[in-house]
A and B are shown apart, each in its own frame.
Chain A
Amino acid sequence: MPVLDRQHMPRQDPEKRRKNFEEVALGYSGEQAKKEASRCIQCKKPACIAGCPVEINIPAFIKCIDEDDMEGAVKELKSMNALPAICGRVCPQESQCEAVCVLGKKGEPVAIGRLERYTADWELGTKPIPEEKPEPTGKRVAVVGSGPASLTTAAELAKLGHSVTIFEALHKAGGVLVYGIPEFRLPKSIVLNEVKYVERLGVSIQYNSVVGKLDTLDELLEEFNAVFLGTGAGLPRFMDIDGENLSGVYSANEFLTRVNLMKAYQFPDYDTPIKRGQRVVVVGGGNVAMDSARCAVRLGAEEVTIIYRRGEEEMPARNEEIENAKEEGIKFKILSNPTRILGDESNWVKHIECLNMELCEPDESGRCRPEPKLGTEHLIDVDVVVIAIGTSPNPLIPMTSKGLKTTKWGTIVADENGITSKNGVFAGGDVVTGSATVISAMGAGKIAAKAINNFLNN
Chain B
Amino acid sequence: MPFKILEKSQIVPTIHQIIIEAPKIARKARAGQFVILRIDESGERIPLTIADFDGENGTITIIFQEMGKTTKQLSKLQAGDSLLDFVGPLGNPSEIEQVGTVVCVGGGVGVAPIFPIARAHKEAGNRVLTIIGSRNTDLLLWEDKVRDVSDELYITTDDGSKGHHGFVTDILKQLLEGDEQISLVIAIGPPIMMRTVAGVTHPFGVKTMVSLNSIMVDGTGMCGSCRVLVGGETKFACVDGPEFNAHEVDFTLLMNRLMMYRTEEQLAEEKYECDREGCQC
Partner of A245, one of B219, B253, B261: B253
Confirm or deny: B260 has a beta carbon within 8 angstroms of a beta carbon on chain A: yes
| Contact across chains for B221 and A235 when beta carbons are under 8 A apart | yes
User: In the bound complex, how far is the Cα of B250 from the Cα of A244, in angstroms?
Assistant: 14
| Contact across chains for B220 and A245 when beta carbons are under 8 A apart | no
Q: How far is the CB of A243 from chain B (nearest CB, A)?
A: 11
SS of A interface (majority): loop
A208, A246, A347, A394, most chain B CB atoms within 10 A = A208
Q: How far is the CB of A233 from chain B (nearest CB, A)?
A: 10
SS of B interface (majority): mixed
| Contact across chains for B90 and A210 when beta carbons are under 8 A apart | yes
User: In the bound complex, how far is the Cα of B85 from the Cα of A209, in angstroms?
Assistant: 10
| Contact across chains for B44 and A262 when beta carbons are under 8 A apart | yes
Partner of A235, one of B222, B256, B264, B267: B222
Chain B residues in 8 Å Cβ range of A273: 44, 261, 264-265, 268
Per-residue interface assignment for chain A, residues 269 to 288, with 1 indicating a CB less than 8 Å from any chain B CB and 0 otherwise: 11111010000000000000
| Contact across chains for A236 and B222 when beta carbons are under 8 A apart | yes
| Contact across chains for A245 and B234 when beta carbons are under 8 A apart | yes
Chain A residues in 8 Å Cβ range of B87: 169, 171, 208-210
Task: Select from chain A the residue with minimum beta-carbon distance to B271.
Answer: A268
Confirm or deny: B192 has a beta carbon within 8 angstroms of a beta carbon on chain A: no
Per-residue interface assignment for chain B, residues 2 to 32, with 1 indicating a CB less than 8 Å from any chain A CB and 0 otherwise: 0000000000000000000000110010000
A213-B28, A234-B222, A235-B221 are contacts. A346–B90 as well, Cβ < 8 Å?
Answer: no
User: In the bound complex, how far is the Cα of B133 from the Cα of A64, in angstroms?
Assistant: 74
Task: Select from chain B the residue with minimum beta-carbon distance to A210.
Answer: B220
Confirm or deny: A7 has a beta carbon within 8 angstroms of a beta carbon on chain B: no
List which A229-248 residues lie within 8 A (CB) of chain B: 234-236, 238, 244-248
| Contact across chains for B234 and A253 when beta carbons are under 8 A apart | no
| Contact across chains for B85 and A271 when beta carbons are under 8 A apart | no
Confirm or deny: A214 has a beta carbon within 8 angstroms of a beta carbon on chain B: yes
Chain B residues in 8 Å Cβ range of A169: 87, 218, 220
Number of A-B contacts (CB under 8 A): 116
User: In the bound complex, how far is the Cα of B225 from the Cα of A247, in angstroms?
Assistant: 10
Chain A residues in 8 Å Cβ range of B257: 245, 247, 347
| Contact across chains for B227 and A245 when beta carbons are under 8 A apart | yes
Q: How far is the CB of A273 from chain B (nearest CB, A)?
A: 4
| Contact across chains for A171 and B221 when beta carbons are under 8 A apart | no
Chain A residues in 8 Å Cβ range of B222: 179, 234-236, 253, 257, 394
Chain A residues in 8 Å Cβ range of B234: 238, 244-245
Confirm or deny: B88 has a beta carbon within 8 angstroms of a beta carbon on chain A: yes
User: In the bound complex, how far is the Cα of B24 from the Cα of A330, in angstroms?
Assistant: 47
Chain A residues in 8 Å Cβ range of B84: 171
A273-B265, A346-B256 are contacts. A257–B223 as well, Cβ < 8 Å?
Answer: yes
Q: How far is the CB of B75 from chain A (nearest CB, A)?
A: 15
Partner of A394, one of B42, B217, B220: B220
Q: How far is the CB of A263 from chain B (nearest CB, A)?
A: 7
| Contact across chains for B85 and A171 when beta carbons are under 8 A apart | yes
Task: Select from chain B the residue with minimum beta-carbon distance to A170.
Answer: B218
Confirm or deny: B65 has a beta carbon within 8 angstroms of a beta carbon on chain A: no
| Contact across chains for A213 and B256 when beta carbons are under 8 A apart | no
Confirm or deny: A254 has a beta carbon within 8 angstroms of a beta carbon on chain B: yes
User: In the bound complex, how far is the Cα of B219 from the Cα of A159, in angstroms?
Assistant: 33
Task: Select from chain B the residue with minimum beta-carbon distance to A251.
Answer: B224
A235-B221, A247-B260 are contacts. A271–B88 as well, Cβ < 8 Å?
Answer: no
Chain B residues in 8 Å Cβ range of A395: 221, 239
| A→B interface (CB under 8 Å) | 169-171, 179, 207-210, 213-214, 234-236, 238, 244-248, 250-251, 253-254, 257-258, 262-263, 266-273, 275, 346-347, 394-396
Closest 6 CB pairs of A and B: A273-B264, A347-B256, A254-B223, A271-B44, A251-B224, A272-B44
Can you give 10 contacting A-B residue pairs, CB < 8 Å?
A170-B218, A171-B85, A179-B222, A235-B222, A245-B257, A247-B260, A262-B45, A271-B42, A271-B268, A273-B268
- New A-B pairs, 15, CB < 8 Å, besides A254-B223, A273-B261: A171-B45, A210-B87, A210-B90, A214-B88, A234-B221, A257-B222, A258-B223, A262-B44, A267-B268, A271-B43, A271-B268, A273-B44, A346-B259, A394-B220, A394-B239
